[in-house]
Amino acid sequence: MTTIRLTAAQAMVRWLSVQMTEENETFFAGIWAIFGHGNVAGLGEALYGVRDRLPTYRGHNEQSMAHAAIAYAKQSRRRRAMAVTSSIGPGATNMVTAAALAHVNRLPVLFIPGDVFASRGPDPVLQQVEDFQDGTVSANDCFRPVSRYFDRIVRPQHLLTALPRAMAVLTDPADCGPVTLAFCQDVQAEAHDWPESFFEPMIWRPRRIRPDRAELEAVAEALRAGKSPVIVAGGGVHYSGAVDALRDFVETHQIPVVETQAGKSALPWDHPMNFGPVGVTGATSANAVCASADVVLGVGTRFQDFTTGSWALFKHPARRLISLNVAAYDAAKHGAMALVADARVGLEEVSAQLGDYSASPDTGRKAEWFAAVDPVTAAPDNGNALPSDMQVIGAVQRTAGPQTVVMCAAGTMPGELHKLWKAGKPGSYHMEYGFSCMGYEIAGAIGIKMAEPERDIVCMVGDGSYMMMNSEMATAAMMGIKITVVIIDNRGFGCINRLQTATGGAEFNNLLKDAHQQQPSQIDFVAHAGSMGATAVKAGSIADLEAALKQAKSATGPFVIVIETDPYPSTPHGGTWWEVAVPEVSEREEVNAARESYEAALKERSDG
């Protein structure tokens, strides 16, 4: 056996650089790194040696650079991914939130945090977390519950099994999610004689699981018996590459489709069978179809509470729930009739079983929905009033082109965009709403642009989320990444403020005016974004916003537009109940009234 002598870190990065997709691209498009003690000497030296094959990108915050990697994987439909490395201690734990985000969203990212010395000679080292009862614990154990696979590399030879296991998880449709390889810093620098065969390129093809015959026949029979079926399209439709299969399926069988946050853009917004967004942030047209559906076919969805209206949306007394999902865990939720299969293959085979079956949905509901909501996105008549978030969306929509991707993550905008954004082609809507993580937006926009450089990325971010994590604006400027960032300044956490008052609470600690302060907050977002290298302008009106959005198209780097909005209004149409527990006892009459409504809704759900 021919061997080559390399350090463990050199062996790791060489192996990562030759993992390939079936399109003959490297699976890892790069590695994001913030160096510190625990990874600068070992991994840092190794990454320098492969910088032409596995580029290293420098971030400004460990969590946000991981967000960029995750967004890259999401926009790549999980066909490619990135790795992220940090020092031990706070550098590592900064990435735990991002790992949870990837875990919830079933997205591949490889975390390589530095770890303590395997030899334990210098213990305790700087930043080491010591467990008084367990000598094997380090800060990296925080990754265990939010990793699909976790391993600690305490010998160089461990990579021979750990790396292939990691890739098996990152590329598996059912088990896909974050992988953490905690890499002891002394082991990174240790040399070993590696088999040269270990570094031969390997092609990883997505596995397409075919449905079990008995499950397939049972699902087809249930669908044929349905009088008013509906399809709930989730993110799995995109990851499977099933958008064409879904279109063919619904056109053949005339079954209406509703879209989750992750599934939105699976069908064009104006497709006759696309009844719009579903659930708490859904359209009246979509929710009405779901409320009367006797068969609900979920395709690649986790059936999150925002999708199901906390399981109060599907009201038909004889409703049958079917879940077509590549993951058995998701397919079996809430007593669903499971069809464990790849979404594309599953739809194709169910369609063949259905033959000439066809439903007859009432497509008039769609026209009624757009007639109701189109006016809320129109430009305001009164140019002096603060615009609404809906009017901001309208301005972005009117200036968008066929290559535009609108993206967001948390706060007010996800709900309004889900309801109002007209997604014209697959991948034109990118929402992180599985974890709804504030701070994802700017870093995520970078990852999307890196995945699809030909697309025009518009990042919608509230002032609250911007303040939480904005450091990667400097990264975008440094790397010359062209993204348009619209900062919607409603002076606080407007979304949660509305939820607070809707549950009977007083306005408290959400909008800046209601927070503890010695003087009014005065944040100059234009100056701040400009100081990090972005071109930044203030829009005083919707007309100014549209003009700035057109100006942004010729920018060469990040272009930031700041617009102040009214924090109170939201789209009055659509939506459904969402369970948020209301205090059972309160001195506030508003809370007591909200509690009565809450209990009535619970009773209605249990009766259904």
- Residue 384 confidence (pLDDT) above 70: no
What is the tens place of the pLDDT at every residue in 459-487?
999 999 999 999 999 999 999 999 999 99
Among the listed ranges 3-7, 169-173, 324-328, 383-387, which one has the minimum average pLDDT value? 383-387
Answer whether 80's CB lies under 8 Å from 56's CB.
no
Predicted local distance difference test score (pLDDT) of residue 606: 57
Task: Give me the mean pLDDT over the 314-319 stretch.
Answer: 94
Predicted local distance difference test score (pLDDT) of residue 516: 92
What share of the chain has pLDDT > 70, as a percent? 99
Q: What's the DSSP call for residue 386?
A: P
Q: What helix, strand, coil percent values describe the chain, rounded to 5?
A: 40, 20, 40
Predicted local distance difference test score (pLDDT) of residue 335: 92
Predicted local distance difference test score (pLDDT) of residue 528: 98
Mean pLDDT of the chain: 96
- Residue 607 confidence (pLDDT) above 60: no
Rounded CA separation 596/581 (Å): 11
Rounded CA separation 214/219 (Å): 9
Predicted local distance difference test score (pLDDT) of residue 360: 81
Rounded CA separation 516/354 (Å): 62
- Residue 363 confidence (pLDDT) above 90: no
- Residue 134 confidence (pLDDT) above 80: yes
What is the tens place of the pLDDT at every residue in 481-496?
999 999 999 999 999 9
Answer whether 540's CB lies under 8 Å from 482's CB.
no
3-state SS record for 460-521 = EEEHHHHHHCCCHHHHHHHHCCCCEEEEEECCECHHHHHHHHHCCCCCCCCEHHHCCCCCCC
- Residue 169 confidence (pLDDT) above 50: yes
Rounded CA separation 539/550 (Å): 12
Rounded CA separation 148/129 (Å): 23
Answer whether 379's CB lies under 8 Å from 543's CB.
yes
What is the tens place of the pLDDT at every residue in 35-64?
999 999 999 999 999 999 999 999 999 999
Structure tokens at 3: 């061997």
Calculate helix-pair angle for 412-420, 494-502, nearest 10 degrees: 90
Structure tokens at 437: 């993580």
Q: Could you tell me the domains of the chain?
A: 3-204 (3.40.50.970), 213-366 (3.40.50.1220), 378-564 (3.40.50.970)
3-state SS record for 340-364 = ECCHHHHHHHHHHHHCCCCCCCCCH
Rounded CA separation 434/236 (Å): 13
Calculate helix-pair angle for 213-224, 343-354, nearest 10 degrees: 60
**DSSP strand E in 18-59: where?**
19-21, 28-33, 56-58
Residues 477-488, buried b or exposed e (16+ Cβ, 10 A)? bbbebbbbbbbb
pLDDT band at 519 (very low <50, low <70, confident <90, very high): confident
Q: Classify residue 199 as exposed, middle or buried by CB count within 10 Å of its CB (0-12, 13-18, 19+).
A: middle
Structure tokens at 150: 């976790």
Would the CA dihedral through 72, 75, 76, 77 be positive or negative?
A: positive
What share of the chain has pLDDT > 90, as a percent? 95
Rounded CA separation 107/78 (Å): 7
191-195 and 3-7 beta bridge pairing: antiparallel
Would the CA dihedral through 310, 314, 317, 319 be positive or negative?
A: negative
Outline where 275-342 has alpha helix (H).
284-292, 305-308, 328-331
Q: Which of 205, 219, 206, 256 is nearest to 349 (CA)?
A: 219
Cis preceding-peptide flag for 380 (omega within 30 of 0): no
Q: Classify residue 315 as exposed, middle or buried by CB count within 10 Å of its CB (0-12, 13-18, 19+).
A: middle
Predicted local distance difference test score (pLDDT) of residue 1: 85
Predicted local distance difference test score (pLDDT) of residue 608: 40
Predicted local distance difference test score (pLDDT) of residue 518: 85
Calculate helix-pair angle for 542-552, 389-399, nearest 10 degrees: 40
3-state SS record for 104-164 = HHCCCEEEEEEECCCCCCCCCCCCCCCCCCCCCCCHHHHHHHHCCEEEEECCHHHHHHHHH
Residues 398-433, buried b or exposed e (16+ Cβ, 10 A)? ebbeeebbbbbbbbbbbbbbbbbbbbbebbbbbbbb
Largest Cα–Cα separation, the chain: 79
Q: Phi first, then psi: give them for residue 175, nearest 5 degrees.
A: -95, 5
Rounded CA separation 8/541 (Å): 57
What is the tens place of the pLDDT at every residue in 229-283?
999 999 999 999 999 999 999 999 999 999 999 999 999 999 999 999 999 999 9
- Residue 178 confidence (pLDDT) above 60: yes
3-state SS record for 238-278 = HHCCCHHHHHHHHHHHCCCEEECCCCCCCCCCCCCCEEEEC
Structure tokens at 487: 């900062």
Answer whether 68's CB lies under 8 Å from 138's CB.
no
Answer whether 451's CB lies under 8 Å from 109's CB.
no
Is the entire prediction scored with pTM above 0.75? yes
Place of tokens 């669903």: 336
Q: Is 285 left (phi over 0), alpha (psi -120 to 50) or beta?
A: alpha
Predicted local distance difference test score (pLDDT) of residue 492: 95
Q: Classify residue 270 as exposed, middle or buried by CB count within 10 Å of its CB (0-12, 13-18, 19+).
A: exposed
Calculate helix-pair angle for 62-75, 472-479, nearest 10 degrees: 60
- Residue 537 confidence (pLDDT) above 80: yes
Place of tokens 């400004």: 60
pLDDT band at 383 (very low <50, low <70, confident <90, very high): low
